[in-house]
Structure 1
Amino acid sequence: MSKVMGKKALQAIMCYADLLDRLDVEVDSKVIFNLSDSRQKQIQKACRTHNPFPGVLKPVLLSLRKKAVKKLYEDEKVLQTGPAAAILALDQALLQDIANIRGGSKENLPIICDVDMAGLQVVRLYMSSYSGNREFVKARYNSAMRVDNALNGSFYKYKTKDGRKFSAHVYYESQKKIMLETLGIKKDPEKFVFGSLLFDKIRTRRAVRKFDALDLEEKTFENGACGCMLRTRQEWEESEVGKAVCEMPLYRLTRISNTSKKKYGIYEKKRGPLSGLKVLDLTHIIAGPACTRLLAEAGADVLMVRRGRYVEQEQAMLELDGWAGKNSVQLDFNVPEQLKKAKELVKKADVVVCSYQRGALDKFGLSEKDIHKLNPNVIYGSLMCFSDTVWATRPGWAPCAEDITGLSIRNGSLKKPVNLNGVPLDYIPGMILFAGIVSAIKKQLTEGGSYTVTASLTRGGYWLHECTDLWEKKRGRITMDSNKYIICNNMSMNTWDDVFTKVDDTAVGTVYFTTPATNAGKETNPYRAKNMWFADGHKDFRMKKH
């Protein structure tokens, strides 16, 4: 057993106890954090399989996978594996409570979380694969070529005139165009891609050096794009937006109305704890879809709104993993008839989740207040980058959240900041929002009411600071409560026999998703894999049986 993974299991227990305390939640199930002697070799081997990219990107993806897995088995300056395992374990425990309430039973099944697989969840972006649909193979390849450009702040940070560092975060072509104009770089955005990376980095470096960091940050946001000066943690905590974020809970659960107890659709144990629930998915890229994917895996009928088919999505490179379990409906809100259809779906939904920047849907009559007015008994989930007060309407992405909160500097140094492994500030905040939504579902079942649940990428990031502080303070001395959580070695289960879960006949062909890290009980939960199938062209929540 690796000493590093043993340490990460202790960190998972510490973070889990912290979650129970700070969120003031009680769950009936005991959590078992599992460690496996064979998992490291299994995951390392999986890196070399199911590589979907042709040509020049195949070795690039392999390199990203190998580096990510190597880091998984190393000590972390900023904790991420332990926190990921902790929040995933809590998510599954909360789901088991829902299953007991809806099933009228009291099954205290243990929640088993594989620590290695939990660490892999925050690098799912690199692990997803697919085959059989040539149109999608080409589309995702082109998406990857566009997104890996000289303005990808996950990889490239530039020195400013005042000696600070600036990172741009523009993952749509429209934002890339704005950022190039802001920097005064005269080049067609469609040609500012991976293939021209070497020369584009030189031009970007020269352009950024003309600005002071905070001036460039402000100008970037004013123009509608996203970029930031890299901050130390202290600078973040002392800023207006940092103070607002730090004052937020991990998720804010607000009761909007006092409606009666909710009766959802038909509960089918074989389909999962959330079977019969209808979720309207107004999310994009990674963080929001990570939350709604978990809802889908748990059996919810998730309908994802898109303007085109899955295969046509501009950011297929980043979004594929978040499509698992979701049927799509093609709607353009600029078309009155289609906007009307969207509002009809809002009225039918039990849960609506939105991860677009605040205010983006207001002009369509789909703001948070509008949605609660359309459906007085709905749960509205909102995931933003910053706070729900200061910078509430500014766009932001996970790597920006790392850079602006001081995580990148803490993980590296002021001179050489280093982003975290994978995109944990996409996945972990998505897991946190999921916990808030499931908590709201429990309240609807037991108390009634409609709710808004709010979470933030930067608040999720600040929790990683807090977890790391706690570990440094405790110096590995963790108090065990065997009634609530334990560590086990080499549990005999077939849930994690394969790192990938194969899903056939989806909208983009055969897809291989990273196998989930948690399980309720020692028998494999059969609904998880079945619930990952997804298709295009739906018009309502009524899902065809697959």
Structure 2
Amino acid sequence: MDLRPSFLKGRAPGGKTSLDALQKLWRSVDLPGESLSHIVLTGADPVLPSSFAVGAAAQASMAAAALAAAEIWHLRGGTRQQVSVDMLHAAQECRSYFKINGVTPNPWDPITGLYRCGDGSWVRIHANFAHHRDGALALLGCPPGDGATRAAVERALERWTALDFEQVAADAGLAVSAMRSFDEWDRHPQCQAVAAQPLLTIERIGEADPRPLPKYGHGARPLRDIRVLDLTRIIAGPVCGRALAAYGADVMLVNSPQLPNIDNIIDTSRGKLSVLADLDTADGRIALGNLLRSAHVFVQGYRPGDLAALGFGPQDAARIRPGIVYVSLSAYGNTGPWANRRGFDSLVQTATGFNHAEAQAAGQEAPKPMPMQILDHASGYLMAFGAQAALARQATEGGSWHVRVSLAQTAHWLRSLGRVEGGLGCPMPAMDGFLETEPSGFGELVAVRHAAHFSETPARWTRPSSPPGTHPTVWPFH
């Protein structure tokens, strides 16, 4: 049965639409097909300057997360409600745009970026964290700290091939990627490992009785009283927690006082409680264990195995809290030679061929990034989607569940959505009409309103964005 509504405007390359992508996502996790008749998607690529269907990726992933929230609401006794997502609005939300006290922060360190190596190939260095920056500078024999210059890095990289520097940096635990074409990436064993996996996996990892979700009356949001521990940083994981908070969950962001953050935490902390717990200490592990015992969802973005070494891997969490939904984010997936490799959106774009393909479409030699960190944002919404699909399974079937998402698998999915002819000619749209202003613990925050609209339970953030450590490490009582 074709569930495509008549009001869906536009069509992506190859006859695909965002709804096609959404339908495939929805069915991949066995959610009821009836829900798909309650989605409204408007707009068509291009909405941002890219030869890729970045608008469709933003819209479909966000719609999946929002529609899953509506399905949770239906499980809790609510009527099926209409969910609508506009493509331009979704893409704007995925640009990480915000102002704090009238200033738009620049998250990029001056050393971060793409460089040509001595063999004529390119590498991207991610230097937004000081220890990654100084480690890369040390490998290159450049002065450390803020005194380093791009010119010095360019001269140093003339002595390297791109693949050699990528490997040496990876061996040192640093954040560097060599640029590849799609053909080169397709031949790489990590690409083959990624291609062999579904976009997201939901695996039963333990036995537990079903925990039926309490029913609430009119005005409650779908995830009311669902407790989410958010142990993520940067963008993808925090976007997942922010979405769940918009749909009514009590989301507690758990930061380590020993780890750095980026300014995006101001935007992605909307709706969340924010606490500190140092998991390298007994006190921090005890605090997290206490929180976990009454949590419903545990979201983490550590490298594979790192949290297990601290006693909070998937099996540990299922033992401490039977019935937990455990959500893991990684850069390159949980299998293959790069399973433990560090990665960020920009690095994965470079390694998996997008910077090369976008440059080809633009007719330029220098690598060209996509107009936003779509791998991060789409992965965040896919995490929220998977978490809610697993919550629905837990409520009806029981069990503990593990949801896995990776930036590289999201990249593989984005390629499958096709290319947008003439997409690079699309002007970058203004943010006018998409912003809201609200107080926060950081100052006056101007950021993009959530693009998913619910006919019965409007999404909203009821807690202001707050600095790490603002709240105590205890769940609130309603």
Aligned equivalent of 1:306, options 245, 255, 261 = 255
Q: For 1:160, give the aligned amino acid.
A: C
Using the size of structure 1 for normalisation, the TM-score is 0.77
Point out the structure with the larger helix share: 1
Given the alignment, which residue of 457, 464, 475 partners 2:407? 457
Alignment CA distance shift 1:433-1:530 (3 Å): same
Matched, 1:229 2:172: no
1:502 matched to 2:458: no
Query: Identity of counterpart residues, as a percentage?
Result: 25
Q: How does 1:358-369 map to 2 (within 5 A)?
A: 358-369=304-315
Q: Matches of 1:121 and 1:7 in 2, distance apart?
A: 21
Q: What is the CA–CA distance in structure 1 between the aligned matches of 2:31 and 2:22, rounded to whole Å?
A: 11
Decide which of 145, 160, 174 is 1:189's aligned counterpart.
145
Match of residue 347 from structure 2? 400
Q: Secondary structure at the match of 1:305?
A: strand
Aligned ranges 1:407-418 → 2 under 5 Å = 407-413=354-360, 415-418=365-368
Question: Compared with structure 1, are the counterparts of its residues 81 and 296 closer, same or farther at alpha carbon in structure 2 (3 Å cutoff)?
Answer: same
Which residues in structure 2 correspond to 1:149-298 (within 5 Å)?
Answer: 149-150=110-111, 152-153=112-113, 157-185=114-142, 187-192=143-148, 200-264=149-213, 267=216, 270-298=219-247
Which residue does 1:481 correspond to in 2?
Answer: none
Corresponding position: 1:323 with 2:269 = yes
- Alignment gaps of 5+ in structure 2: 1-8, 423-430
Q: Which residue of 2 aligns with 1:339?
A: 285
Task: Provide the secondary structure at the position in 1 that maps to 2:327.
Answer: strand
Aligned counterparts of 1:271 and 1:531: Cα–Cα separation in 2 = 15
Q: In the alignment, does 2:467 pair up with 1:543?
A: no
Q: Aligned partners of 2:334 and 2:216: how far apart in 1?
A: 34
Aligned counterpart for 1:376 among listed residues 308, 316, 322: 322
Contact map agreement 2:119 2:162 (CA 8 A) in 1: yes
1:11 aligns with 2:17: yes
1:94 aligns with 2:71: no
The answer (yes or no) to whether the contact 1:409–1:417 under 8 Å persists in 2 is yes
Distance in 1 between the 2:359 and 2:25 partners?
Answer: 27
Q: Deviations over 1:441-492 (max 9, x none)?
A: 11011111110000000110111111016x78xx9xxxxxxxxxxxxxxxxx
Shift of 1:21: 4.9
Against the structure 1 CA distance between its residues 72 and 515, is the aligned structure 2 distance closer, same or farther, given a 3 Å change threshold?
farther
Query: In structure 2, what residue type is equivalent to 1:131?
Result: N
Q: Give TM-score scaled by structure 2 length.
A: 0.87
Alpha carbons of 1:20 and 1:340: their partners in 2 closer, same or farther (altered >3 Å)? closer
Q: Is the 8 A contact 1:264 1:276 kept in 2?
A: no
SS class of match (1:120): helix
Q: The residue matched to 2:229 in structure 1 has which SS?
A: strand
| CA RMSD of superposed structures (Å) | 2.8
Structure 2 residue aligned with 1:122: 94
Aligned to 2:380: 430
* Shift of residue 84, structure 1, vs aligned partner: 1.1
Contact kept, 8 Å, 1:237 with 1:246, in 2: the verdict is no
Q: Which moved more, 1:416-425 or 1:21-30?
A: 21-30
Work out whether residues 130 and 510 of structure 1, in 8 Å CA contact, stay in contact via their aligned partners in 2.
Answer: yes
* Secondary structure of residue in 2 paired with 1:396: coil
Matches of 2:21 and 2:42, distance apart in 1 = 15
Match of 1:511 among 427, 445, 454: 445
